[in-house]
Structure 1
Amino acid sequence: MLHKTSTIVLLCAGLLAAGPAAASGNPELGKAKSATCVACHGADGKGIAPTFPVIAGQHADYLILTLKQYRSGERNNAQMAPMAANLSDDDIADLAAYYSQLPGLKTPKP
């Protein structure tokens, strides 16, 4: 019984550590695919102006969900809808893997 429980705990821990997006996206490919993203989100993913969201350091799962929502039209945004329209699931996973591993903004200490 203890052996079976230990195996299940280790399996679950491994799945949580890897995460679905971490296992599926390739950050190097994501960087190569990010050329159009740079126009608004900047080379560092922190946005070129305050009106553009910071995507650097965001959770990959969040980025995947958001891009798929823009692609499907579930999220309506005149700038992002055409950008996401032709992205494949692999493109989205790669972009999410790339941007999620970039350093995000730091919250200043009071």
Structure 2
Amino acid sequence: MKSVITLSVLAAALALSVPAAHAGNAAAGKKKAVSCFACHGADGNAVDQQYPRLAGQYENYIVQALKEYKSGQRDNAIMKGFAGQLSQQDMEDIATYYATLDGGKLHTLKNYIQGDSN
């Protein structure tokens, strides 16, 4: 009985350690995100600091943000216009596209958190 419990715990731990599959399709997302490129960049690394860099961002964060723009919970007329035209699948595809890009240019929180010494 003890080995069955140990095996169950091991299986559960393994299942939790495997990354979740992407909800959307990155290739479809790239096509759907063309209108996003002007501000956020085709590679998701916006040059202008007023626009968020989306490369490497969490999919669920992008989907949630798009839903909030669409509903008006986030107040941005430009994003509301774009997000208002997206279906759930469109949002998932776009989020997957940006999530799979290299986010190496994203800023870290180093020196922004109280107590950082460097």
Identity %: 39
| Paired amino acid for 1:17 | V
What TM-score, normalized to structure 1?
A: 0.81
Cα distance change, pair 99–77 in 1 and its aligned pair in 2 (3 A): same
Partner of 1:64: 63
Asked if residue 14 in structure 1 is aligned to residue 15 in structure 2, the reply is yes
Task: Please provide the CA RMSD for this pair.
Answer: 2.4
Partner of 1:24: 23
Partner of 1:87: 86
Cα distance change, pair 13–62 in 1 and its aligned pair in 2 (3 A): farther
Between 38-47 and 5-14, the greater mean CA deviation after superposition? 5-14
The offset of 1:4, in angstroms, is: 5.3
For residues 15 and 91 of structure 1, the distance between their equivalents in structure 2, rounded to whole angstroms, comes to 27
The offset of 1:18, in angstroms, is: 3.8
For residues 50 and 23 of structure 2, the distance between their equivalents in structure 1, rounded to whole angstroms, comes to 30
5+ residue gaps, structure 2, are 111-117
5+ residue gaps, structure 1, are none
| Paired amino acid for 2:7 | S
The offset of 1:24, in angstroms, is: 1.7
For residues 9 and 76 of structure 1, the distance between their equivalents in structure 2, rounded to whole angstroms, comes to 45
Larger radius of gyration: 2
The structure in which a higher percent of residues are helix is: 1
Partner of 1:76: 75
* Count of residues paired in the alignment: 108
For residues 5 and 71 of structure 1, the distance between their equivalents in structure 2, rounded to whole angstroms, comes to 47
What TM-score, normalized to structure 2?
A: 0.76
Structure 1 outlier segments of 4+, above 2 Å: 1-19, 106-110
Higher relative contact order (CA 8 A, sep 6+): 1
| Paired amino acid for 2:90 | D
Asked if residue 97 in structure 1 is aligned to residue 96 in structure 2, the reply is yes
